[in-house]
Structures are given as C-alpha cells and as structure tokens.
Amino acid sequence: MRMTNMFSTTLRQTPADAEIASHQLLLRAGFIRQLGAGIFSYLPLAHLAMNCIENIMREEMNALGGQELTMPVVHPADVWQETGRWSQVGDEMARFKDRSGHPMVLAMTHEEVVADLARREIQSYRQLPQLIYHIQTKFRDDPRPRAGLIRVREFTMLDSYSLDRDWAGLDHQYQAHYQAYFRIFNRCGLPVRAVGSDTGMMGGKEAHEYMYLTPAGEDTLLFCDTCDSAANRQVANFRKPVPQKEALSALEKVPTPDASSIADLAAYLGIPASRTAKAVFLRAEMAEDQRPLMIFAMLRGDMALNETKLVNCLAAAGRGAITGLRPALDEEIEALGACPGYASPIGINRDNVLVVVDDLLPLAPNLVSGANEEGFHLLNTNIGRDYTADIVADITLAEDGYPCPNCEGTLHSSRGVEVGNIFKLGTRYTESLGATFLDEAGKAQPLIMGSYGIGVGRLLACVAEEYHDDQGLIWPVSVAPYPLHLVVLDSKDGSSEQTADQLYQALQDQGLAPLFDDRDERAGVKFNDADLIGLPLRVTVSARSMANGGLEFKRRDQPDRWIVPVENAIPIIQSELENLQQEMESRFMTNQPGRCRNTSTGSPGGH
C-alpha cells in the first residue's frame, strides 16, 4: 500500500477525550475513528491487524475440529423469551420492533441461536460431539463505554459453542478451549492470566476469564503469592478468620451520637470494626412480572459486601432473576421500621424485606449493631438469639492482603482487562429450547453446551496497550497490519525513488507487501509516522543510505540501524521477520497453560 493512496491519516495531536495509551495511539496512527459513544470505525490499518488476529483464531478453532458458520446479528425475541433472558437481561440488550410489530433483539451473544439450531439439526448421539464458531458483530448498550476499544457498545467477537452428549464431553471441550485460548493470546503476543469468574447472565456452573493485567483495567483480580489461586474479585473467596468463642452477653442499648458509620462507631466505643455488624440495604430490580425486592444484608463491620455473591446466593435460593441492584433510599429503609445509619434486623418489619447474613456472623458473637433509633446502637447482638436470617451465605468481598482460601499465602490484587471467557453452560439453554438428542436406548437427552468468546477489537487494543513507547505503537509481527514500512527519501537524480519502486514490487511478489511511504514529505515527518504506526521493521531508501552501501534497516523495537546491500534486502527482510516471530514464540513458551481447576473451590486455574 502506497501512503499517497492510503485512506487514513495520522494525527499530530492527541485527541482530548482519549483516556489511555492504546486509545490515543490507535487514533493518532489512523487505525480507528469514533462515530459515537462506544462505536468506532476500523480503518484499513486496524482492519488488516484484526484480520491477522481473526486468522489466528480460525487456525486454532479449526485445529480443535471447529466448523465456521455465520449467525444473524438480529434475532426474533421468541428465542430469548423461551430461555427467559428476554426479561432477565436489562437495558444492555437493544430491543426494537420490526415493521410488523414483532419484538426483535440486536445480538449481544448467540447461545439462544445455537440452541435453536441444535434442536433443528441434532437428532442422534451419533452426531455428537460438535463444535461450531463464528466471528461476528455484536451490540451491547453499555452505559459506560470508555478507553477506546477496551469498552465499547458495538464489537466483533469470536464465539465458539460446543455440543456434547454428557458432562465428560463438555469437560474435554472446555479444557481444549482453555488451552487453545492461551495459544491464541500467545500468538498475538499478549500475556494473560486465566482466573475464575462469575457466570453472570450466561448461566452455567463454571467459568474462566482471560485477563490482561494492566492499570487501565476495570476488573480487580486476586492472586495468591504462594499457590496458583486466581479469581476475579467478583467471585474470589478467602480464608475467613475464626472468632474466639465467648459466652453470649445480654443485649444492651447504648447512646452513640453522631456515629452513623462503622468508623465513627468503632472510634466512639473504642472497639475494632471487627466487633461491629454492618447493615447494607439494597433494592433489587427483578425480571418482568416480579415485584422489586428489598434486601437487608448483614456482615462484619470490617468487611465489604460483594454484590455478585449476593445476587448468586439469591438465585441459588430460588429468589428469582435479579436484573439490577441499587442502594435503598432512606424512605425505603424507614418503611421497614429501620433507621438509616443505625439499622439492624432486630425489630424491623420482615414482611417486605429479605435478610441475608454473611456466613461469618453466626461464628462472631456479641457484635455491636444498630438499634433502629437515631443515635443509639445495641451491644452484644447475636444471630439466632436476637434475630434470624432468611439466607446465610458468603457475601463478603475479598480484598488485597486477605488470606488465601487454599494455602497459607496472602492474596494480592491487580487490575486487568477481560479479553476472553469460557463457560460451562450445561443444559441452561438446551432444556429451555428443547434441544435434545436420542441416546443409544432411543431416549431423548438434553444437549450439553459450552460457550467460549474473545473480543477481537479489545484484544487489538490490549496488544497496543502492551506494545508502545513515547513515539508510538510497536506491533508484534504476528498482528502487524503490514510486515514492514518502506520509506523513500527524495534524491536529486531520482535514483532512490527508482530503487524503492523496484523493491516495493519485488516485496509484493514475495508476499511481503509493505506499507510504502512514497509521500512528498520531509524525512522527519516520515520517520515520526513510521514510529507512530509501529510496523515491526523499517527499510529506508535514501541517497545517504545508498552512498553507505545500500538500504538502512531498523527494527521498531530497537534503536540500532544498519546497512544492507540492495541485492540482499529481501532475504534479510525475511530473516528479520522470522527472527521477530521466533523471539515472540520464545518469550511466550513460559506462558503455557496447564489444566484448569474448578472455580467452585475458590481456586480457579492459572497457567
């Protein structure tokens, strides 16, 4: 591609609304342009880089026996209604009606469509197992798009779906994907960690996320410094302290003026926060046809509530599908007979609230809790004697420095971006849609599903976040839009231009199509743009280089420059590109996956 013909242009200034390095550089280098909040155009350079990523994905999926297909972006609401997600998914799902008034959905994922296809195509156990995949556009109306391609509303994903006759088959395909996804990220040059995660709206019994660790990430991850325990903080467990046993003391009401927070209460009474009980009121928005639910969560005062664990324990207890949580308003709290800032379950109206208590509280005697009267607290409150719970479960948020649940080590936190995920869905969708097969005995059995996905644009952005410097991007050779940047500097007799044109054609003939900067620009402009765009290798043709014996070579990731005779240019280019590929493969040899561990233990797999 000659840059005189290239559609996109580079930018000298960083756009004011670009938040992180990858966003800034992808804009400045002419890879992307924003159309609206979380909606981007991928210009030719980005399109080529994403093609490289998608080809790596296809190779790895095909190696697993996957069959590529294309599924629709627009879905009739019927299949989403059959699985129940029509009412369970909130405003992130874009709904509309076609011209006939039929409700429709813009695809945010394709489990329903796969299950619908399976019930039409799969009849017998002889057709199993199956693995299908596609690389397709999706839309999620994210309320907070940010950081360029890291968090968008319209995006492209690799989705693969496994269909098996039993759980052993799903386990096999899940493990195969677990390893294949590491190979995909390794080949793209992106270091990742696999962590246990929440199944969320996808459902199922187990899930892992692939996390690129970066301060720009929104997710908090917890890793053990001794063993391989690793999990998203949404689901991370920790070894809770075992309080000392003591006799239950008498309940006592005491004045606590201006002590509506745990910190103020502990300071006023001269006790540690661990001797208090924290009250958290939430209002849960429920799926259609269900009334909103008031939740009163109780946990030890020195700990924080994990809303994901709370939602999951409510679902496990059969309390219905929750589409959202928000803090309760003061008037909603008062309607229960509780007092904001001084609340406890003792004496409140239990008709319209669900009391959920953390599983540490039954072991922690004589805690200070609210008296449901402003300016007063109760000493020595005890669950079972003074109040009861509707649900007792682990609802506490794991934090940096907490004890590991599996060894004597300590958890430490890192920020990360989720670039991929895998789910054991089981029969979550196939039972809803009646996707069955006949076993050897002729009996209908539900298909067992797995779902696996990687965001292509987000992966591109994370690679850009990982590989850049002050001058611009530094693309790994495997995902670079072009393998090299050919730069020609004007010569008085036109010899440089002639040599560059001949080399440009020869490179194309060898399948090494370069980005050819043939513009009428100063050397500084061309070199700055080459550094900004970040192709792995730069070859410069100039009167000076020719006088020195040939062409000037420079790797983008190194400062050194050297001269190569013109007649040796192509074999040296091929050699340098091979070296770059081997260096990356060598770097990621240590990033090989083992077997994933079940996330239900609180110690999901690493690598």
What pLDDT, in 10s, does the model give residues 209-258? 999 999 988 889 999 988 888 888 888 899 999 898 999 999 999 999 99
Alpha helices in 104-195 (DSSP H): 111-121, 167-187
DSSP element (H, E) containing 393: strand 391-393
- Going by C-alpha positions, the residue among 603, 215, 605 that lies closest to residue 413 is 215
What pLDDT, in 10s, does the model give residues 232-241? 888 889 999 9
CA–CA distances in Å: residue 421 to residues 197, 451, 536? 9, 8, 29
Instruction: Tell me how far apart the alpha carbons of residues 108 and 76 are, in angstroms, rounded to a whole number.
Output: 13
Q: Is 560 helix (H, G, I), strand (E, B) or coil?
A: coil
CATH class for the region spanning 252-393: alpha beta
Is the pLDDT at 564 greater than 80? The verdict is yes
Maximum pairwise Cα distance, the chain: 101
Residue 607: pLDDT band with limits 50, 70, 90: very low
DSSP state of 362: G
Residue 437: pLDDT band with limits 50, 70, 90: very high
Residue 59: pLDDT band with limits 50, 70, 90: very high
- Going by C-alpha positions, the residue among 259, 543, 246, 535 that lies closest to residue 374 is 259
Is the pLDDT at 288 greater than 90? The verdict is no
Residue 90: pLDDT band with limits 50, 70, 90: confident
What residue type is assigned to position 569 of the chain?
A: A
- Provide the token pair at 41: 């155009």
What is the pLDDT averaged over residues 18-39? Answer: 95
* R_g over Cα of the chain: 29
Task: Return the sign of the alpha-carbon dihedral for residues 105, 107, 112, 114.
Answer: positive
Q: Which CATH architecture has domain 475-588?
A: 3-Layer(aba) Sandwich (3.40)
- Provide the token pair at 147: 């950081």
What pLDDT, in 10s, does the model give residues 525-550? 999 999 999 999 999 999 999 999 99
Among 113-122, 214-223, 280-289, the least confident range: 280-289
DSSP element (H, E) containing 262: helix 262-269
Is the pLDDT at 594 greater than 80? The verdict is no
Residue 491: pLDDT band with limits 50, 70, 90: confident
- Going by C-alpha positions, the residue among 197, 234, 210, 226 that lies closest to residue 607 is 210
- Overall pTM > 0.75: yes
Is the pLDDT at 97 greater than 70? The verdict is yes
What is the pLDDT averaged over residues 405-410? Answer: 91
- Going by C-alpha positions, the residue among 540, 458, 572 that lies closest to residue 26 is 458
Considering the chain, what percentage of its residues have pLDDT values greater than 70? Answer: 95
DSSP state of 337: T
CA–CA distances in Å: residue 265 to residues 275, 277, 341, 367, 376? 10, 11, 10, 12, 10
- For 218-245, the DSSP string reads SEEEEEESSS--EEETTT-------PPP
**For residue 600, what pLDDT is reported?**
38
Instruction: Identify the CATH number of the domain defined by range 32-194+423-465.
Output: 3.30.930.10
Domain range list for the chain: 32-194+423-465, 252-393, 475-588
**For residue 191, what pLDDT is reported?**
94
Task: Return the sign of the alpha-carbon dihedral for residues 213, 218, 219, 221.
Answer: positive
What residue type is assigned to position 11 of the chain?
A: L
Instruction: Tell me how far apart the alpha carbons of residues 109 and 80 are, in angstroms, rounded to a whole number.
Output: 11
Burial of 55 (0-12, 13-18, 19+ CB in 10 A): middle
Is the pLDDT at 158 greater than 80? The verdict is yes
